[in-house]
Structures are given as C-alpha cells and as structure tokens.
Amino acid sequence: MLLEIKDIHVHYGKIAAIKGISLEVRQGEIVSLIGANGAGKTTTLKTISGLRPLTSGQVLFDGQDISRMPGNKRVEIGIGQAPEGRGVFPGMTVQENLLMGAYTRKDDLSADLAEVYELFPRLAERKTQFGGTMSGGEQQMIAIGRALMTKPKVLLLDEPSMGLAPMLIAQIFEIIKEINKRGTTVLLVEQNAQQALKLSDRAYVLETGRVVKSAPGPELLHDPQVRAAYLGGH
C-alpha cells in the first residue's frame, strides 16, 4: 500500500476537524475525497503532507510510519501537494515558481522541467512572466507543475478546478489523467464531484470529519444518495 491513513483524529484547538478517518491509496490509482465544505477534506490532505499535526492515529507511506515526520521530509520521500488557493509566489517568474518545487533536490532538473512544460505548454510560453500576473487557470497549472517538480510518488491536489471556467476545468482534469498515466498516484480533493468521480478509481465521501461511504468512482457516480447530495440529481 502506498499511502494508508489509520483512524486519524485532528483538532483545531478544541474543535475536532477529523474524527477517525481511515483510507488507503494504492500505487497507480486516482482516489478522490468528496464532501461538503467543512467535511475535513483539506485537513486530511494537510495531515498527510505534515502541515497539520495529528491528535491521534497513523499516517503510513510506503509502509513507513510518517505520523510525526516534518513536512519538508515528507516532500523528500515523495509526497507532493498543490494546495487549495494555489499559493503561487506572485513576485517570481513562472520558471522560478516551478523550481521552488525542487528545493529539496540535488539532481539534474532539466528533464522534469521539460516534462512540466510539455504538460503545460502555456507555462512554457510564459516562463519569464511573473506568477502574480497569470490568470487563475494558469496559476493552477503553476501549482500542479511546482508539485510535480518534487518528483512525487503521490500527488495531493486540493480543489484544482476551483474558480475556473468550464473549458479550463476539462483541461485540468485531462492533465490530471495524463499525470496519472505517466506513473504518478493522485489523491484528489474536489468540489466538482461529478468530474472527480468520473476520473477516479475509487472515492471516499466525507461528512463532518468522518468517512461515510467508499466505493469505486463510477459506482458512487450512480449512487442515489451521492447524486442527491453532491451531484444535483436524484
């Protein structure tokens, strides 16, 4: 198992944000977390990447318990994240933003940089432009590209389609599919449940800090309760 979360609890002060979530992600999969705002999806990703401490439970990566490992070390062992809100450095160029993803690496970056530019030709055209002047969709591409520069075994994507035009959303999901096809495992948090479930091998439904359902993506896509709650259907 590449990534395993066992009965994690996470608090913000006295407030329990996550109340015993367990989930697993196998090598090569795309797995989605769906649920309403405040369900604990982003907190789950932050806990995996080491940005949020656990109250209890375990995070295992490649069989190793990383529950207490600092975030920068988790990047080094293969956990990359494109955060909610993108977190682009506005006063740095596109290329400088991408290279920030590789700050822990000591090897040659040229092949990986070329691959990011191949996935995102728009970034190749604008590599000397400042990140802060790019559109929302372009900034999302920077955030994903920067995470790929960490050479992740698993890529955590937090709301990659948020605030984007429908045409761009379709493009971002195609790119996620391509990244996965090239060998990177993906754990996706996404408000656009329909797109996420279509793309996913498996998915988990979160409600108020708990997993309430898990199944293959296409199965959840046709689940009447999931349709009613998250897909605007009955």
Output the domain CATH number for residue 174: 3.40.50.300
- Position 112 in a domain: no
- Position 108 in a domain: no
| Segment 145-198, tens digit of pLDDT | 999 999 999 999 999 999 898 889 999 999 999 999 999 999 999 989 999 999
- Position 141 in a domain: no
50, 74 contact by CB (below 8 A): yes
- Position 62 in a domain: yes
Q: Which residues of the chain fall short of a pLDDT of 70?
A: 233-234
- Position 105 in a domain: no
**What was the pLDDT predicted at 113?**
96
**What was the pLDDT predicted at 103?**
87
- Position 26 in a domain: yes
What is the extent of the structural domain holding 60? 3-86+149-230
**What was the pLDDT predicted at 233?**
57
CA–CA separation, 225 and 222 (whole Å)? 9
Spell 129-162 as b/e; 16+ CB within 10 A means b: ebbeebeebbbbbbbbbbbbbbbbbbbbbbbbbb
**What was the pLDDT predicted at 214?**
96
- Position 221 in a domain: yes
What ranges in the chain are assigned the alpha helix state H?
41-49, 71-77, 94-100, 110-119, 121-125, 136-148, 166-181, 193-199, 217-221, 224-230
CA–CA separation, 78 and 3 (whole Å)? 11
Q: Count of domains in the chain? A: 1
- Position 78 in a domain: yes
